[in-house]
Structure 1
């Protein structure tokens, strides 16, 4: 058995993990049900990458992929993500996230793949009971997305007990960086600054959230993947800090003088309407002790790196439009 299977590889984190694994010489199998054009282009110049088109809810297709490639481990990123999706299509979200994972675990057990690194979320906790929490915090998810991630964590424990699988949960928090595909803080604020556009969010100035830079999330997942024996089955991989949105806007105004950014008072609301439960920092001490994870990007460094990349992308797009105009 060899190689790593990455599910949801066409997504933000899955794609970054694929590139990082290839860069260090791993054979990678990418499973993606959606847009695969970027993956196909990458595969054309990366002989260690195979791309498989499959819906994770199609158990027969998932089983066939595991039978064909027999990966030594799975990094499970495939999911419908986010609180907004929890309210817009909860039944579909639960089916993809939970039933899809069950299909994957069944195929792993059948074909001898023992380890799964599952990308979980701070949403499993619901409202934080302290400004900084560890992995022993009570699990009380408020929305269907968090419910699905908590269920998948427990499903992994069930397959550990019944099939001997090694299911490790990486609890991330609001991963961001260049190319983030959704309209969400802090990247919407970064893009406005990069383009010289005004952006005034109506609320959320006091909300504190652990924002995790993409490169740190990738490093943490790979650290967990490589550890031979895990003392725990769940770890925080985050920034270990929780700046407020007002602080983030202030940092961006310093990084981009003249940027017209602001955040109104009160607590953050997803899509401007769905209240966010209290959040805070995720202690990463357990991951540091187990596999040496330490975030390299504090919020200023992460915002600066994202701003530089977004400026470059904006300038390139503008130059391309002028050349073809």
Structure 2
């Protein structure tokens, strides 16, 4: 099966490409390299450097004729979406529509779409399941949710199968240390610089942290399973910032300096997923516990600093 991966040179997408190759699939990558790197790609993988809203995207579909698409490309910053909502929408909504049109015109059988926990807004109950009301708080949350409705329409109108994934907080090797969801990467960057870790508020705010390779394996599983489903992809484990730092201290075998800042307005206090449906429908489960994932990620960046 040939699989087009948008954002395939990026943090999550490059891990998906690695697992596709290992599974005998034939990946093709589209990426504008705004956050990705060609260093993450293998020479045998066809690569097209372009934005997903580029009119030339149809030429990629015509040349490659993919059987499926895994859609990871997008604008992923909440703050940038607030500063420039039109630009956010152009990438996340209009770019996805252009991708869907390529799927329709060239007979793609399935699209796997990376949505976000941001579609839920402030949790009304925990853990968050897929029945939780959708109430995004930012243009980013809106622009990640809107393509979900387009996918439903394209299935009904044109028979395009899909699976939607709403990601928890993804971390791991190759992550860029900035952005609202990259707290682990930001912490590692500060640790390697010898700087204290900043805790905003009391540090008891919680998130669901999932290792990138587990996210990648869920995407590969969805090529064959969970048609027409919207699934939460996380660990189902709630971890506070204070707990996260304690795991870092255990991993590194030393105390970590901390700085404290005021609680940031607009931050969601508590959030974690119910991943029961993903476990059942994908025949999938996250394999990397937080301590192991942090150790692997820290070692990766430590080695990169020494090169």
TM surpasses 0.5: yes
Structure with greater Cα Rg: 1
For residues 100-179 of structure 1, the aligned pairs below 5 Å read 100-179=95-174
> How many aligned positions are there?
304
Farther off after superposition, 287-296 or 120-129? 287-296
In structure 1, what is the equivalent of residue 266 of structure 2?
Answer: 275
Partner of 2:276: 285
- Counterpart contact for 2:9–2:41, Cα < 8 Å: no
1:193/1:256 contact within 8 Å kept: no
What is the Cα deviation at residue 129 of structure 1?
Answer: 1.3
Q: Which ranges of structure 2 fall in alignment gaps of 5 or more residues? A: none
- Whether the aligned pair in 2 keeps the contact of 1:128 and 1:280 (CA below 8 Å) is yes
Of residues 281-290 and 293-302 in structure 1, the stretch that sits farther from structure 2 once superposed is 293-302
Pick aligned residue for 2:285 from 294, 311, 314: 294
Is the 2:35–2:176 Cα contact (8 Å) retained in structure 1? no
Change (3 A) 1:277 1:27: same
- Structure 1: which 5+ residue stretches go unaligned? 318-325
CA offset digits 1:158-191 (Å, max 9, x no partner): 1111111112101111211122113231222233
Q: TM-score, normalised by structure 2?
A: 0.92
Offset at residue 266 of structure 1 (A): 6.8
Assess if the C-alpha contact under 8 Å between 1:195 and 1:311 holds in 2. Answer: no
- Alignment partner of 2:176 out of 173, 181, 204: 181
- Report the alpha carbon displacement of residue 259 of structure 1 after superposing the two structures with TM: 4.1
Q: C-alpha root-mean-square deviation of aligned residues, in Å?
A: 2.1
The answer for the alignment partner of 1:322 in structure 2 is none
Give the one of 231, 234, 257 matched to 1:235.
Answer: 231
The residue that corresponds to 2:213 in the other structure is 215
2:292 matched to 1:304?
no
Distance change (3 Å), C-alpha of 1:250 and 1:21: same
Residues 104 and 305 of structure 1: CA distance in aligned 2, closer, same or farther (over 3 Å): same
